[in-house]
Amino acid sequence: MRRASILTREIDPASLMNEVGSKQYGAISLFVGTVREVNNGRSVSGIEYSAYKSMADAELERILDEAEERFGVSGLVVEHRIGLLGLGDVSVAIAAAHPHRAPALDCTRYVIDEIKKRVPIWKKEHYADGTREWIDPTRAAQPASP
Amino acid sequence: MATVTVQLFASYADVLGAPAVELPLTPGTTVQDLLYRIRSLPGASSLPPAPRVAVNRSFATSDQLIEASDEIALIPPVAGG
């Protein structure tokens, strides 16, 4: 089983685990990313995710190809949510299955790291004080403006 | 004259004030030439020195040639996950 989806509905990480699970595997690694309440010292009320969807789909497929090649996993499912997410909501989930734990763990790490570098998805943080800001991970954290 | 549409997203759509811009396309235009033309648009001074460009849903190199039928997009720093 292999699949990557960008979607607007809630992500259920357990369903990804079930999807990749099989008796041939001895390990399933599951990474779940969630919306955090504080970023760079500012109180966050939610995050609005948007995507260049056709390219994000293509880039995710390329990442899955690379991950399969590198780690030999044959069960690999990724879901990334877009739209307005609240605190604690799941923004991304990755499940990788392999007969042994090391490739499964390495695979989820690789996939999330590559998503953060290459997949055209953006987030606009909504702050408790009513302001909003696009997040640019290439810039050093700026102190909150007055 | 042939033109090409450049899709804009996130902070780049905000600074240029539109989800896409249409630019003239002459034969032999490269990604770098297109970025040069984008720099003359209102708001473009807020763009970084070398924004990433995608051609047909893949990241492009600066010397890559552009055809009128290509799907072009400027890609702001990504922040998925």
Cβ–Cβ contacts within 10 Å for residue B48, how many? 13
Taking Cα atoms as reference points, which of A101, A82, A104, A84 lies closest to residue A92? A82
**Residue A142 predicted with pLDDT over 60:** no
Of the partner residues B71, B75, B81, the one whose CB lies closest to the CB of residue A120: B75
Averaged pLDDT of chain A:
94
Provide the pairing of β-strand A75-81 with B72-75.
unpaired
Number of residues assigned to chain A: 146
pLDDT at position B20 is 97
**Residue A141 predicted with pLDDT over 80:** no
pLDDT at position A146 is 47
* Residue of chain A nearest B14, judged by CA positions: A134
Number of residues assigned to chain B: 81
pLDDT at position A6 is 98
CA angle B29/B59/A66 to nearest 5° reads: 150
User: Cβ B57–A54 below 8 Å, yes or no?
Assistant: yes
Which residues in chain B have Cβ-Cβ distances shorter than 8 Å to A137?
77-79
Q: Give residue for tokens 């069960």.
A: A75
Q: Given phi > 0 = left and psi -120 to 50 = alpha, else beta, which region is B74?
A: beta
- Sequence-separated (6 or more) residues with CB below 8 Å from residue B27: none
What pLDDT, in 10s, does the model give residues A1-42? 999 999 999 999 999 999 998 888 899 999 999 999 999 899
User: Cβ A123–B54 below 8 Å, yes or no?
Assistant: no
Token pair, residue A11, equals: 């992500």
pLDDT at position A74 is 81
pLDDT at position A143 is 53
Q: Does ipTM come in above 0.85?
A: yes
Question: Can you tell me the distance from the alpha carbon of A106 to that of A104, in angstroms, rounded to the nearest whole number?
Answer: 6
Q: Is this structure's pTM higher than 0.90? A: yes
Which residues in chain A have Cβ-Cβ distances shorter than 8 Å to B57?
54-55, 58-59
